[in-house]
Amino acid sequence: MSTLQASTTTTALPPPPSVYTLPRTQQLEALYTIIRDKDTPRGDFIFYSDRIIRLLVEEGLNHLPVVPKSVQTPTGVTYAGVGFEGKICGVSILRAGEAMEQGLREVCRSVRIGKILIQRDEETTQPKLFYAKLPQDIANRYVLLLDPMLATGGSAMKAVEVIMEHGVPEDRIIFINLISSPEGLQTFYKRYPKLRVITGWIDDGLNDKAYIVPGLGDFGERR
């Protein structure tokens, strides 16, 4: 059973029921304090953000369905356990999402990983797909969508749209990120209510430039 619980926050916008956060332990808060500090050296930022990413991936796997599976132990006893119901793959939203790929590989051996590049169209101001390379059999897999930050949700929603166009049902996608804004989570939920979001921390909100505050700056630039 997953150790995650529906998250709670002191912001004006309560998180949707599809959103889950890591337990707010003192260790986790210390890790976030380090990566939020603008004076943290790049090496330390990478090391401690990688620790959080691995925790998020581990918790994301708790949301995958399992089926009964029995095995024989070295003592000759049958153990009635469980196994994952289906195959998984990761999809990173370029370019910051690539930083989360290693954490997934450390937990899931030989996992397949796709990539999506989405940028803002200067004419329409809307997210636009520029590149997508996904596993050929992605429609038969559970997908862990990787992107460190969820601000307005525009890029992430476009990525989900692309993945679903390749035959993946909404409820077989799990979006994993380090920091989310309450506004982005609400927007995301309204469009994809069946999609689970695993986030490490829900921040206070967005400023007038649509940056997450308190945030941690540009994740890709600090890696």
**In-domain check, residue 86:** yes
Q: Where are the alpha helices (DSSP H) in the chain?
A: 26-36, 42-61, 101-107, 154-165, 182-191, 219-222
Instruction: Provide the residue type at 46 as one letter.
Output: I
**Domain contains 150:** yes
Distance separating alpha carbons of residues 44 and 134, to the nearest angstrom: 32
Contact 143, 86 (CB under 8 A): no
Residue 53 lies in a domain: yes
What Å distances lie between residue 178 and 52, 56, 123, 146, CA to CA?
7, 8, 30, 10
Question: pTM here?
Answer: 0.90
Please write the tens of the pLDDT for every residue from 70-108.
999 999 999 999 999 889 999 999 989 999 999 999 999
E runs forming strands in the chain: 5-6, 19-21, 66-72, 78-84, 87-94, 112-120, 127-133, 141-146, 149-150, 173-180, 196-202, 205-206, 212-213
Query: Do the domain assignments include residue 3?
Result: no
User: Minimum mean pLDDT among 83-87, 124-128, 194-198: which range?
Assistant: 124-128
- 139 occurs within a structural domain: yes
| pLDDT for the residue 112 | 96
Rg (CA), the chain: 18
Contact 23/32 with Cβ under 8 angstroms? no
Question: Does residue 60 fall inside a structural domain?
Answer: yes
Task: Quote the number of domains for the chain.
Answer: 1
pLDDT in tens, 200-209: 999 999 999 9
How is residue 129 written in tokens? 């797909």
Closest CA to 22 of 187, 177, 213, 200: 200
Residue 223 in contact with residue 178, Cβ under 8 Å? no
Domain assignment of residue 4, yes or no: no
Structural domain including 143 reads: 16-216
Q: Is residue 36 part of a domain?
A: yes
Instruction: Kindly report the CATH number assigned to the domain that includes residue 98.
Output: 3.40.50.2020
Q: Supply angle C-alpha 162, 222, 189, rounded to 5.
A: 35
Q: Which two tokens stand for residue 115?
A: 């990539």
Indicate the pLDDT class of residue 6, thresholds 50, 70 and 90.
Answer: very low
User: Would you say 143 and 196 are in contact if contact means Cβ atoms under 8 Å apart?
Assistant: no
